[in-house]
A and B are shown apart, each in its own frame.
Chain A
Amino acid sequence: MSVVVFAVLALLAVGSALGLVLKRNAIHGALFLVVNLGTVAALYLTLRAEFLAAAQVIVYAGAIMVLFVFAIMVLIPGKEETGPDPRRPYRLLAIPVGAGLLLELALIIGSRSGRAAAPPTTPPGGVEAIGRLLFTDYLFPFELTSVLLLAAMVGVLVLARRRAT
């Protein structure tokens, strides 16, 4: 049963990722990315990471994708990739590069899988365990994220300001 769920989710994830890369229209790509983020959230659920599944939907599919769709609407692209590509031979290099990377990753995963012990059956713990970890072992990075988000906010305001010329 769980194998079937995983297979369906994996197919959806790979298909939507390919759609993002192959579709010319940026807004279609954004919608494909939403599907991809949703399937990854569902995969988190199958891995018993309920907190991250919720955070994925709220932060990625909610906040970040809304930002992307707004930017696409404001900038009206879509006409930008229609003309002939002056650097097509260089861009086609991406296919061997991607295939080589995939092969390398597959070799790494394959070589590590043999000598791994059976996974422990203890569940990783829900929200409580993550919260405790964030406020003990990862307290300093956790506080740093607030500084990072504040800096990003101020930086965006400075960058997006219209210059009075």
Chain B
Amino acid sequence: MVPDIWYLALSALLFSIGVVGVIVRRNPLVIFMSIELMLNAVNLSFVAFGHRLGSPDGQALVFFVMAVAAAEVAVGLAIIVAIFRLRHRLSIDDLSVMRW
């Protein structure tokens, strides 16, 4: 039986990798994917906690995170596509103004 703390450690590691990806990368799409990685890491810790406590609440919360992630990805990708149409470039350093 694998102790639940190993799952938490793995979740922490994946979350940190996602944070580094968000900071390091210049492509907004890859930054989005790193955010998905962080959401997944947190989902894993939710499920591990639910498993440890023997309650399905953790899994219900993961269900909501998945729904929000789906909405977030759809809107975020639409924004990126709209920016690409206006600018014809795709680098996060160009997006330093709030309006143009």
Chain B residues, Cβ within 8 Å of A2:
1-2
B66 touches A68 (CB 8 A): no
Nearest B residue to A51 via CB reads: B59
Per DSSP, chain B at the interface is: helix
Q: Mark B63-90, 1 if CB is under 8 A from A, else 0.
A: 1101111111111011111101100011
Interface centre among B29, B79, B90 (most CB of A within 10 A): B29
How many B residues touch A, CB cutoff 8 Å?
72
- Give the size range of A's interface with the partner: 35 or more
Q: A30-B33, A33-B36, A97-B19 are in contact. Are A155 and B75 (CB under 8 A)?
A: yes
User: Which residues does chain B contribute within 8 Å of A26, judged by CB atoms?
Assistant: 27, 29-30
Spell out A's residues near B (CB within 8 Å): 2-3, 6, 10, 13-14, 17-18, 20-21, 26, 29-30, 33, 36-37, 40, 43-44, 46-49, 51-52, 55-56, 59-60, 63-64, 67-68, 71-72, 74-75, 77, 80-81, 85-87, 91, 93-95, 97-99, 101-102, 105-106, 109, 113, 116, 119-125, 129-130, 133-134, 137-138, 141-142, 145, 148-149, 151-153, 155-156, 159-160, 162
Q: B residues touching A (Cβ–Cβ < 8 Å)?
A: 1-2, 4-10, 12-21, 23-27, 29-30, 32-34, 36-37, 40, 43-44, 47-48, 50-60, 62-64, 66-75, 77-82, 84-85, 89-91, 93
